Structure 1
Amino acid sequence: MTALLPAELAWYVTGRFYQAGKDGPVADYGYFLHLPFPDLPLFDGKRGETTAHFTFAARPFQAQGVTNGGLSLGVDPVGEFSLYLQRRPAGTFDDPASFAQGECIATFRRTSLVVGTTVDATIGAKTEALVGTNVFSARLVASTPFEFGGGRHDLADQIGRGVTQFGTATGAPILPPPKGYTLVLPFTGSAIALGR
């Protein structure tokens, strides 16, 4: 299998941001729609969170906020997230910790602060968040080879030193949020390889 070139597409993800409490920690969880392993089955059946073999989970972090007119900026500290192989898929957005099950196959550390931008709009007398974006780079700090789908694979061989990911989130929260969380926002992300 050929390693990705720098800036070549590495993955697509979809997931949700979860906030615990009004000003509590935030973490994101979800699953992969694409990985640089063309022959691997990513799902056990129809594409969705409950059938995904490859999931991710972030370590919770404390976000800070800045406002600039109709823009709300979330400033997230440097942190880590891990990728998991679930041979028997068990992920569900009703239980975000379920995405951190299975075999940890890689861990990434964001290289700097992440600034996420949410566009707000005033509709009548109410201000609502419409859409949010972010971009970050993350270095691969650990990778474990794994056997799956009839072959041996290692994410480090494919993407090199890490990724830069571009994300888009909706401003419309999931209601009601799961127990223990006050805000849940769905997002999607696409990442390019940093290369060697």
Structure 2
Amino acid sequence: MKLLNPRGFGLACATVTVGLGLVVAGCASTVEGTATVNQADATSYKAEAAASSTAAAASKAAAAQAKAVTDNCDPFRATTGTAVDRYNDFVDAHDGQTADQADKREAAANALDDAAKTVEGRVNASGADLATDLAQKFTDYIGAARGLAAEVRKMTNSSSVGPLNDASHKVNDALNAVRNACPAR
């Protein structure tokens, strides 16, 4: 059996001790001074972050507005077209004093009320995403259509057509205002 070589063991212990001393000395050094922020870099970063956030918000708002316009303008002609057709059918029946005049009167009034309700539902669903001026044009149509429906329901063979014609002109003006405000498709 061989004994430990004291010289080799001493050399190994000395090497380990010197290595540990160097590690401890390297980790124990400090850097003098105070940590500070690079103001130019921080300001640049904040400006870029704000610009990016603003651009993202503007893009999101523009997309929501475009969707609101599409959701309201695209179906408007079809929605109101049926009401116009039923109203014209009633006017023809009234002028001709046909036997189905009462049925056509009710169909016209219901179609006008339905169109107003449908348009109102879409405007309300769009909320603040729909531009205020365009929302007002739709709202004007809603009121005019309901007004015409009320006048249609009042009509008999002996009724004056003046109020009906006035209400009809309001609907036509409101229809044209919306159509002119909506983008051409």
TM-score by length of 1: 0.23
Pick the structure with greater CA Rg.
Answer: 2
Q: Could you say which structure has the greater relative contact order, defined with CA pairs below 8 angstroms and 6 or more residues apart? A: 1
Q: With structure 2 as the length reference, what TM-score do the two structures score?
A: 0.23
Q: Per residue, is there more strand in 1 or in 2?
A: 1
